[in-house]
Chains A and B, each alone.
Chain A
Amino acid sequence: MLVRRVKDGERDLFYELIRPYERRLYAAAFSILRNEADAEDAVQEAVLKAFKHIRQFRAESRFSTWLTQITVNEARMRKRKEHAHLIEPITDHQDEEGNYTPREFADWREIPSETLERKEVRQRLAEALASLGQKYSEVFVLRDMQHLSIDETAKALGITTASVKTRLLRARLMLRDLLAPGLDGNWTARLSFAKGTKPW
């Protein structure tokens, strides 16, 4: 097992160990920091911390979850520092527990996965994701992009599985509303929403 070998002193193998997860770690950091350079820096710092504390990793959790947890913590810490001068909002206006009602009901049966070849489409999807509140986007990224389980996502974010499920539902429905095809069936036409014009 690669983790065991690194723990036993084969330091050169560490990059091999984290390489399969580096993209996902970046996505997790980006979902919190919303800035490429900051996200990259946070990942680098998190990976270095993981290396320093590799002996603390226990095999009962997955290495990817542990690594993600460190990355999320690093990104959140940076986010807090970045906004330390700002006054925190007293209440979160998004009611997590309330039901979310879909707004778009256009038929969307085809999976336009081939459209992901277009950078413009990927960019629009990324923008849609970035327009969600952090607590929704980080759950969505870990569960639906990093493919962590509900339990692992909860553990990585330090929240309950019930919260993960609630936030995931809202994130998915909000994204669906943002990305649903227009009535003319033109899927990408819906992607040209202006930033900040959230339908909820």
Chain B
Amino acid sequence: MVVNCDGVWREISNYLENEVDPELRAAMEEHIRGCKRCTAVLDGTRNVVELYGDERMAEVPLGFSKRLQRRLENDMMPPRRTFLGWMVAAAAAVLVAGSFELARSSAFTHPELRSELAQSGAGIPPDMLVVVAADGKTFHTPVCTFIHDKVNLRTLTAREAQREGYAPCVRCMKKYLSAALTSSPAPENVTQVSALEE
């Protein structure tokens, strides 16, 4: 088999790929050995393949990898907490739990009063029996003359009345209101309350 320059150029890429049959390969090499032009073409083409195949030619813009990684994290990965993120989340959980506990304990010792004008009282015996009117704001001793609605009265303990938001009457409970003004915080077995002018 004999090949000319055109035949070499047509197959030179396949030759470099080692994809020509042995007979053609031998014929091409025979021709190239005696042809300066085909030698130049073969060497040059091989060099092109070598140069572009070099890893250094596979350049990417500065920061390419980081941006790709960030995009992946942002768009595809579930949000991952950093250590700081976990700390913030833990602190928030503690705050929420603390708030509930505070609200619960506040409700016990300082129930929401039925009047904004309530005043503190102190030293009222928790088991003391008092009376309240259904639409009233204060609790009274059963003999108090300042009970306006004497029809819908209900008897309960001072502790229960306070939990329901009733405040001590400024008349019949006067001594406890005075005590609140002069005393330190009430002992545990005595409920601290507020009072208002009814």
Contact = CB atoms under 8 A, between A and B. Distances in A.
B45 A176 contact: yes
A15 interface: yes
By secondary structure, the B interface counts as helix
A145 B59 CA distance: 11
B188 interface: no
B63 to A, nearest CB: 9
Contacts of B83: none
Contacts of B68: 15, 22, 40, 43-44, 47
A168 B13 contact: yes
A180 interface: yes
Contact of B9 (A36, A117, A173): A173
Contacts, number: 136
Contacts of A168: 13
A143 B77 CA distance: 33
Given A15-B72, A125-B52, A44 B67 contact: yes
A64 B157 CA distance: 82
A108 B14 CA distance: 20
A150 B50 contact: no
A62 interface: no
Interface in B38-62: 39-41, 43-45, 47-61
- Report whether over half of chain A's contact residues are helix, strand or loop; otherwise say mixed: helix
A33 to B, nearest CB: 13
A127 interface: no
A48 B53 CA distance: 27
A120 to B, nearest CB: 13
Which of B16, B43, B67 has the largest count of A CB atoms less than 10 A from its CB? B43
Contact of B64 (A22, A48, A109, A175): A22
Given A22-B65, A40-B64, A145 B52 contact: yes
B76 A14 contact: yes
Contacts of B61: 36, 40
B37 A144 contact: no
A99 B7 CA distance: 10
B148 interface: no
B33 interface: no
A27 B51 CA distance: 15
B65 A19 contact: yes
A109 B36 CA distance: 11
Interface string A108-150: 1101110011000010011001000000000010001101001
A72 to B, nearest CB: 16
A182 B120 CA distance: 104
B23 interface: no
A145 B61 CA distance: 17
Closest 9 CB pairs of A and B: A169-B13, A23-B58, A176-B44, A108-B44, A105-B37, A116-B56, A105-B40, A175-B48, A26-B60
22 contacts: A23-B55, A23-B59, A40-B60, A40-B67, A47-B71, A48-B76, A99-B9, A100-B9, A102-B41, A104-B44, A107-B36, A108-B44, A113-B50, A116-B56, A144-B48, A147-B53, A150-B17, A169-B10, A173-B12, A173-B13, A176-B41, A180-B44
Interface of A: 11-12, 14-15, 19, 22-24, 26-27, 36, 40, 43-44, 47-48, 51-52, 99-102, 104-109, 111-113, 116-117, 122, 125-126, 129, 140, 144-145, 147, 150, 165, 168-169, 172-173, 175-176, 179-180
